[in-house]
Each structure stands twice: as C-alpha cells, then as structure tokens.
Structure 1
Amino acid sequence: MTSTTRIVTPWGAESTAAEVVSGIDLSGRRAIVTGGASGIGIETARALAGAGARVTLAVRDLEAGRRTAEDIGLTTGNKDVAVARLDLSDQASVASFVAGWDGPLHILVNNAGVMASPLMRTPQGWEMQFATNHLGHFALATGLHGALAAAGGARIVAVSSSAHHRSPVVFDDIHFAEREYEPWAAYGQSKTANVLFAVEATRRWASDGITANALHPGGIRTNLQRYVTDEELERLRAQSGPAAPNWKTPEQGAATSVLLATSPLLDGVGGRYFEDCNEAEFNQPGTRTGVSAYALDPEAAQRLWQVSVDTLATLSTKER
C-alpha cells in the first residue's frame, strides 16, 4: 500500500455510481470497461460516460455492446461510446484488442468475469474461471501498460468479490489438475488473484503513475450468476446469518468501481481492497466482510505475477 491511512469516504452500501461521480469531470479521459454490456458493467460505463469520459465497452457480444452503447448515449448525452470485441478466455482475442488500442488510457475497469461455473478448460488446459477472471485481465493490463503509462495518473480497477475468502491462490495446483474441482473454490481463487494483481501492479507501476485497487461490489443479481441456481444463492445468503447484506441494484453495485476509477480521494493510492465505497478492514474469523490477509500478501502477489508471466509465455505466437 502506498500509505497506511485507511481511505474513508462519504459514501456507503446504498450509494449509486451516479452519486459517487457527481461533480467529477472526465472530459478528455479514456476508459475501458470489460464486460461493459451486462450487469454492473453497464452502470459503470454509464457513470463514466455521464461524467464526460470516452468509454470503450470491451465485450464478447458485439450486438449487446452496440445496444448498450446506444442506451448510454441516450441516457447521458455522451455519444462517444465505442464497442470492441474481447473474450478474456481467449488470449488471441486479448492480443487483438490490445493491438487495436491506440493512444493513452486513463481508466481500465477489469469488470468482466465468470462465477462458479462447472469445470471447463481452455484449449491450453487452464481452468476457465482463473483463465478468464485473472489471466485474461492480466494479459490485458500488461498489454496496455504503455497506454496506461502515457496517460499520467492512470487507474486500474479490479472487480473482485467477498468470495475471495473462500480460497487463496493454491500455487501447487492452480488449475485443479490434482485436486477435486469445486466451483466456488475456483471462483474464490480467481477473485483472490484479482486483489493480488492490484497489489503487485501498484508496486511495479506506481513509478509510471499507474495505481490499481480491487473491490467487492456487493451482492447484485446479474447474468454473472448464470451458473448458480436461486436455491444456491439463498443457501449462501443463509450461511451469512442475520448479517447477510441486502441485494444491491446494479447502480449501487457499480458505485465502488466508479469510486476507485474517479475519486480524488484515491489519487496516488493503490494496492488496496474496498467494499461499500470504503477501504475494507481485515476480515474477522466467522464473517464474510473485509479482506483476507492472504489477498494483500506482497510475496504472494509477486509470486502470482511471475506465475502469470510464465503461464502466458507458454503460448505460441499463433495462439496469441
């Protein structure tokens, strides 16, 4: 972390993205939101565009992206919303997106993801949740490093989850080659990786004016849960007991992402984890709030970075 002072803001669990960005002028700024055509990605992109940013929706479904871009233009008055194809599970798609980017990048919101899916693997044999949620975003951010550095004061926002409490990164068997696959453990591992990425990216890139922070957006009913039944979601909520949080609207769910992307309170601040628009404290045993210490461990963050570099280096030029 860049300092020891915990970041506390005037906003909370019920704040919306529009409220958080109110009064902030993003004119002349360029932003990318992965998964910007569904769930909280839409509202993140809408808030950034509403503040004047030129937003690119990085999406798998171009038609959904175009519909979203048109809707954002109509609701914000900002027609400067671009759409580009990006499939984070496909490193060739990531490389193509990076190659197509020109000029500085001020805000990168790593928002897209897959949750608690059945066991699926990429052609390389990588477990799909880790490949999509972490390796895809890692390749995207490192590929865009030059554009982020050129912006001066660029920010990376990594959308993690309270599910990171379910698992650290299991370096001995990241891709479930030996251990039995469990969807939530795999998801939790990938969400821990998102936080560790923010820690190490800030350490490596702060001298380039780039900071990265991670967040838990809260519980929001979106297409992210397409592999999870309603019964499973309610069972998970019941496990949280009386303290189970209420469902957030997508506008509320996007608030913490937008805070990290835009707030002057975060100038020069990186390597941290936020929830409900405030920096989280460390998790206490028996609770599902806060941040697990292993997700902010600088040694694990450095190790994950090197593992990620080595993993991507196994790809042939053709696969990229």
Structure 2
Amino acid sequence: MKTTKRARIVNLSSSAHRIGEIDLDNINLKHGAYSPLKAYAQSKLCNVLFTKELAKRVPGSNINVYALNPGLINTGLDRYVWSPVPTSLKPYLYLSPKMGSQTTLYCAIDETLDNDNCRRVEHMVSNAKNDTTARLLWELSADLVNLEKELRI
C-alpha cells in the first residue's frame, strides 16, 4: 500500500462502539464476561481504536484511514445481538444492505475523499478517544497474531 500513489483503509464500526468497553486482560470475554451485545460493542470500539492508532502510525504517507458507521442495516444481526425486530418494522428502521453499503463504498472509492472532506465526528465518547488504550490494543493484537516485531508499523 505504501508504494501506490494513494491508498485507503476503511474499517466498519457502529454506533454501538459508544457502549463498548475494553478489558485488555480479558479481550475474548472469557469466564462469564461474554454476552452478544457486549462482544459486538467491544468489537466496534476496537475498530475505532484500531483506526485511530493506525492513522498515527502512517502519518505523512499516501494512506488515508477511515472508520465509519454505516447506520442500521437489515443484515439479520439483530437476532444474534439484541431482541429481533419484527419484520414488519424493519423497512422503517433499517437500510437495505444495498443502501447500507453506500457509505462504505463512498469511503473506499470516491476520489474527493483524498481532499479529506469526510464528515468528522468531533464528539466521540471518551472510550473511543483513549490514545493509551488504542496503543495497548494495537500491541495486544500484534501479540495475539504473533506478528514479528520488524513487521509492526
């Protein structure tokens, strides 16, 4: 990616990141800590923090990094994470998968983004702004996948 003229990394998050909490000592939510909603919210907070840390690790490069919330999309996730929404209400509450993918596609391919005109969220929850947690999560992730030290950005 560093050798291309311009590159983008787009990570999908969710507004659920707002309720996410990260326990770096129990990242896999073992020993009774797991619930579907807790795991989902934590994973989306991790996506925001990963993006934040990655952006700090590629400054001045040709790589732009984005985290986005595509909105509520009718993917069926509700049946696993929270109480299922009645089918009759879904068209009023959710975007179709086709419409829900538009934000992701925009971030991935629209050339005007190279001018950094994405809408920025200025009022992020404190969990999503924690530089220390972002760095520690990055290091933990690299350790968990046994990433060699010389390959770590």
Report 1 or 2 for greater relative contact order, CA contacts < 8 Å, sequence distance ≥ 6.
2
Post-superposition CA distance 1:72-126 (Å, at most 9, x none): xxxxxxxxxxxxxxxxxxxxxxxxxxxxxxxxxxxxxxxxxxxxxxxxxxxxxxx
Correspondences of 1:273-312 after superposition (within 5 Å): 278-282=119-123, 291-312=124-145
Could you tell me how far apart the structure 2 residues matched to 1:226 and 1:302 are? 31
Residue 232 (1) aligns with residue 83 (2):
yes
TM-score w.r.t. length of structure 2: 0.77
Distance of 2:53 and 2:112 partners within structure 1: 21
2:16 counterpart residue number: 163
1:220 and 1:261, CA in 2 relative to 1: closer, same or farther beyond 3 A?
Answer: same
Counterpart Cα distance in 2 of 1:267 and 1:171 = 34
- Cα offset, 1:226, TM superposition: 7.4
User: In the alignment, what sits opposite 2:34?
Assistant: 181
Percent identical pairs in the alignment equals 31
Give the TM-score, by structure 1 length.
0.40
Amino acid aligned to 1:280: V
1:158-206 superposed Cα distances (whole Å, 9 cap, x missing partner):
0111111221222121112334311110111111111111111111123
- Among 202, 207, 216, the alignment partner of 2:55 is 202
Whether 2:21 is the aligned partner of 1:149: answer no
Q: RMSD across aligned C-alpha pairs, in angstroms?
A: 2.9
Secondary structure of 1:177's match? coil
Stretches of structure 2 that go unaligned for 5 or more consecutive residues are 87-91, 148-153
Taking a change above 3 Å as real, the CA distance of residues 233 and 166 of structure 1, as seen in their structure-2 partners, is farther
Structure 1 unpaired stretches of 5+: 1-147, 236-244, 283-290, 315-320
One-letter amino acid matched to 1:233: P
220, 232, 256: which one aligns with 2:103: 256
Between structure 1 and structure 2, the one with the greater Rg is 1
Q: Distance in 2 between matches of 1:296 and 1:233?
A: 31
